[in-house]
């Protein structure tokens, strides 16, 4: 049985509430130990983010769940047409911030979509690559002929883990010890980078009869966890030997005083490895597939911070030719880092921009620092 071509026939996003400018962030997230952050301005200067979105009120109350935002993005794909929602054959949902440990994020999204039928649902986990893993599962299902259409999503609701009360107890303990009264940089700096939102792709074995589609030429990924320690983590604590101690092995008191459920990152491990490992795989892909950087019309790299723009350039430099920045398409500064949804946000904005032309090629790059994973994809406008 010949393999099918796979096309993205529509894209959508769902953003909770209004954009939050940088000077209002702590009105939503709160003040750790009642004091303004000392690192906020430094981090914002480096990450370049001007606005982001929170599924929160200014009182820190949740306005949406992750599943609700994702379901809204799926509905938007089909303009809330119940007949079209009934035609979905597969739902593949990636996130790193599910609303609960169980049930899975995917089935919770499905539960928010009573308009759909009883269908196959999958829930890739992970961090930034989770949305791409969801995309690849949907792509492979259509490619193999298992289904004729599928929906892939990427979403995050980080804000619930960024509110001040998740850090207050630890800050109080540090003050009692006459130590730095603020949360260590590896925990706090992510508060000023992460954003909420959801996005979706409609995939089909047929392109749109009218208008443009994006043919999925290939999707590839790689993990270096076999040789790398954990770098970014949540619901655990990194030990002196590099191992990760999970939340189930902490007492309830330790979970609070050590802010176990905050998101943390080992900056020293990140800076020395993110470039060489990312470049290693893209060079191998380019050589195997005969990909020439000159043939790329749009480069959509997921960046957690503008600080990493130069690092991304170093990754691509292994191809021997520069991908000039006029070919880059990034919306980090206005959307914030939305983890598993960020690459969807970029594809959506470009797809809806009206500037794409048939034959143009889009290269996607998603690095994930959790334990150093990377996803790459090539799309062609048809």
Per residue in 32-51, pLDDT (tens digit) is 888 888 889 988 998 999 99
Q: Angle 248-241-230 (CA atoms, 0-180°, nearest 5)?
A: 65
Q: Read off the pLDDT band of 177 (50, 70, 90).
A: very low
What is the secondary structure of 196-212 as a DSSP string? -EEEEEEEESS--SSS-
Sign of CA dihedral 214, 291, 278, 323: negative
Please report which confidence band the pLDDT of residue 20 belongs to, taking 50, 70 and 90 as the band edges: very high
Helix (H) or strand (E) holding 278: helix 267-289
pTM for the model:
0.94
Residue 168 above 90 pLDDT? Answer: no
Question: In the numeric block, which tokens belong to residue 137?
Answer: 């599962």
Number of Cβ within a 10 Å radius of residue 177: 8
Q: Report the greatest alpha carbon distance in the chain.
A: 69
- Strand 90-95 and strand 149-156: the pairing is parallel
- Residue-wise pLDDT tens digits, 218-237: 999 999 999 999 999 999 99
Q: Which residue has the higher pLDDT, 71 or 191?
A: 71
Place of tokens 């606005």: 51
Task: Please report the pLDDT score of residue 186 as a whole number.
Answer: 58
Structure tokens at 270: 């990140």
For residue 179, pLDDT beyond 60: no
What pLDDT does 187 receive?
A: 63
Best-predicted range by mean pLDDT (259-263, 271-275, 328-332): 328-332
Alpha carbon distance 111, 104 (integer Å): 11
Each residue of 183-203: pLDDT tens digit?
444 567 789 999 999 999 999
Q: How buried is residue 283: exposed, middle or buried, by Cβ count under 10 Å (0-12/13-18/19+)?
A: middle
CA contacts within 13 A on the Cβ side of 141: 24
List of domains in the chain:
7-213 (3.40.47.10), 217-223+266-381 (3.40.47.10)
Which has more pLDDT, 379 or 314? 379
pLDDT of residue 180: 42
pLDDT score of 169: 54
- Whole-number pLDDT of residue 81: 97
pLDDT at residue 190, as a whole number: 83
In the prediction, which pLDDT does 173 show? 47
Tell me the average pLDDT across 330-345.
97
Q: Report the pLDDT averaged over residues 235-251.
A: 94
Q: What is the pLDDT of residue 132?
A: 98
Span 238-246, average pLDDT: 93
Average of per-residue pLDDT values in the chain: 92
CA distance 347 to 21: 23
Taking residues 123-131, report their average pLDDT.
Answer: 96
Note if the bond before 103 is cis, omega within 30 degrees. Answer: yes
In the chain, what percentage of residues exceed pLDDT 90?
A: 77
Mean pLDDT of 348-355: 98
Identify the H or E element spanning 101: none
For residue 302, pLDDT beyond 80:
yes
């Amino acid at each position: 049985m010949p393999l099918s071509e796979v096309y993205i026939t529509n894209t959508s996003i769902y953003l909770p509430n209004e954009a939050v400018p940088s000077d209002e962030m702590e009105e939503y997230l709160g003040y750790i130990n009642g004091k303004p952050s000392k690192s906020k301005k430094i981090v914002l200067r480096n990450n370049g983010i001007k606005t982001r979105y929170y599924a929160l009120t200014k009182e820190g109350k949740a306005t949406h769940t992750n599943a609700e935002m994702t379901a809204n993005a799926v509905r938007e794909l089909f303009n809330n047409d119940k007949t079209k929602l009934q035609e979905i054959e597969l739902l593949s949902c990636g996130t790193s911030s599910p609303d609960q440990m169980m049930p899975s994020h995917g089935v919770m999204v499905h539960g928010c979509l009573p308009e759909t039928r009883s269908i196959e649902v999958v829930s890739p986990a992970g961090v930034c690559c989770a949305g791409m893993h969801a995309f690849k599962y949907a792509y492979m299902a259509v490619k193999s002929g298992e289904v004729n259409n599928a929906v892939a999503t990427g979403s995050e609701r980080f804000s619930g883990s960024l509110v001040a009360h998740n850090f207050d107890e630890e800050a109080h303990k540090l003050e009692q010890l006459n130590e730095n009264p603020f949360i260590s940089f590896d925990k706090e700096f992510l508060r000023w980078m992460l954003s909420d939102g959801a996005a979706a792709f409609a995939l089909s074995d047929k392109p749109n009869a009218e208008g443009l589609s994006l043919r999925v030429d290939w999707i590839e990924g790689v993990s270096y966890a076999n040789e790398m320690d954990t770098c970014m983590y949540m619901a655990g604590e990194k030990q002196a030997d590099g191992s990760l101690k999970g939340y189930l092995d902490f007492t309830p008191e330790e979970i609070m005083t050590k802010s176990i459920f905050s998101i943390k990152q080992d900056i020293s491990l990140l800076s020395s490895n993110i470039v060489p490992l990312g470049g290693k795989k893209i060079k191998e892909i380019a050589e195997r597939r005969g990909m020439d950087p000159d043939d790329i019309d749009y480069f959509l790299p997921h960046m957690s911070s503008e600080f990493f723009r130069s690092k991304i350039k170093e990754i691509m430099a292994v191809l021997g030719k520069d991908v000039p920045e006029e070919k880059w398409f990034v919306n980090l500064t206005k959307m914030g880092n939305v983890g598993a949804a960020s690459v969807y946000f970029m594809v959506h904005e470009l797809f809806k921009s009206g500037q794409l032309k048939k034959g143009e090629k889009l290269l996607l790059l998603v690095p994930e620092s959790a334990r150093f994973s990377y996803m790459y994809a090539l799309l062609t406008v048809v």
